[in-house]
Structure 1
């Protein structure tokens, strides 16, 4: 059974995550006598083959699962506080991923497309800011860790910046 927020070593189930977000939105809309799902935006981040002019062989992701899942839940709450009725499901892979493999899936569902787009963009910006997920780049000539989340979740300026980017 899929959960709305997860860290997993298994391949990401894009269709399942999408369906779960739609069902959760429809259920909440029905309870609130509000508009049902009108837009679904999927963000699927994949391992790219080049980064900063260098060939990438693979990426290895690590996460502190309890804190990562809690940060995903927080991100969804932050989005819903600003965009009432939006539903977000967010899954991130860990382990070594090859070029082209999905590393993160964000499904954002809202009554209207502008809100779904903004929620999706906001979610990925916040993941980069606050989620305890780290990656190691495996290049053709070696490997190195990439700096991950560096801001405090309660710092209002990065939160405001994520919203500015979401609506850009």
Structure 2
């Protein structure tokens, strides 16, 4: 509800979705009322992701069930997230991305997509100290941006080896 803001229930639901690794779109309902009250979408979005940094990959769509505002946009986002959740990235495309960022020759030897729904990528690194949280976050952001994986939680497994 765009007017009432973030509730405890919202936080619990978001945590469950992330834990279960499901695709997510946030529909901020009653946007017609929020707009009348002077709430600006960019400010609402900034505040929302402040409370939910763990779902910053999700798409936030202002809607109004009463007026039908943005219902087509919401439906398009649902299809996009569904397709992203089931998307298969070709191994050569993934390795090309890693090579473009000078990661394949230095830190990452090879990578492939292990599964879909949710997507899981497995990358082989040269040294144990390449398996740190910051590096993993960097790889996740790189893959998300390149392959446009909006609304989809996914995992990257870093292994030492070939």
TM-score by structure 1 length?
Answer: 0.30
Q: Larger Rg: 1 or 2?
A: 2
Instruction: Select the structure that is richer in strand.
Output: 1
- More contact order relative to length (CA 8 Å, sep ≥ 6): 1
